[in-house]
Amino acid sequence: MLKVNNIHVSYGDVQVLWDVSFEVREGELVALLGANGAGKTTVLNTISGLLRPHGGNIYFLENEITKMPAYRVAEMGIAHVPEGRRLFPEMTVRENLEMGSLFPEAKKKRKETMEWVFSLFPILKDKQHQEAGTLSGGQQQMLAIGRGLMALPKLLMLDEPSLGLAPVLVHQVFEIVKEINQRGIAVLLVEQNVMHALKMCTRAYVLENGRISLQGNGGELLNNQHVKEAYLGI
């Protein structure tokens, strides 16, 4: 579904990704793991067209998207829920959700998709007329995911959805991510919460200093000695 082939990405003269390759197949939940500054956000921003690689290619559903502008990538079916959520704080919950469904196909199905989002996150239904900026951190994360779903994506990319959330909310958000994936939406999950991500993913890649250092299914990586020592503190 998504194929990232040997991409190299720099900020000015500073290269931060080297020869990064990975793929997400239909229906998979793939985790991209790594420490602070490893380059995970850069990978997502490159896929969604916010950054241009200076080497390599990216394909989505057989189409090359390497040089596509971000709005076209989104229209093709990739929704990016960025780190820090990037909501419109002075707009209501409902208006934020509507902003996720501006493309014609998504707009046509806005009403039923919103009902689905409300069934996943009932708190958003209760607070639909409240300004997004007044929500708690967990509720804002739910709204950011909900807004991503409003575009009816084929692939949902989530950048650190657990960041800053209390453990009980982390669990809840991950359960919902699993449910979304079970509905047939492929997920690319960037996480620092390595244990949780490995338990729920189909496959995972570990990014270290801008390079993919390990890959495997969740069970394999949970048992990998380097992963245990470097990321799980075992």
Asked if residues 73 and 79 have their Cβ atoms less than 8 Å apart, the reply is no
How many residues of this chain bind ligand ATP (CB under 6 A)?
12
Cβ proximity to ligand ATP, 97 vs 158, nearer residue:
158
State the residue for tokens 């650190």.
Answer: 160
Cβ proximity to ligand ATP, 14 vs 234, nearer residue:
14
For residue 112, what are the contacts with CB-CB under 8 A and spacing of at least 6? none
From the CB of 207, what's the least distance to ligand ATP, in Å? 7
* Near ligand ATP in 23-52, by CB under 6 A: 34, 36-42
The site map against ligand ATP for 82-111 (x = CB under 6 A) is: -x----------------------------
Cβ proximity to ligand ATP, 146 vs 210, nearer residue:
210
Cβ proximity to ligand ATP, 181 vs 193, nearer residue:
193
Q: What is the DSSP letter of 142?
A: H
**Residue 107 CB-density burial (10 A; 0-12 exposed, 13-18 middle, 19+ buried):** middle
Helix axes 110-120, 137-149, angle to 10 degrees: 150
CB atoms within 10 A of CB 12: 5
Residues that bind ligand ATP (CB under 6 A): 11, 14, 16, 34, 36-42, 83
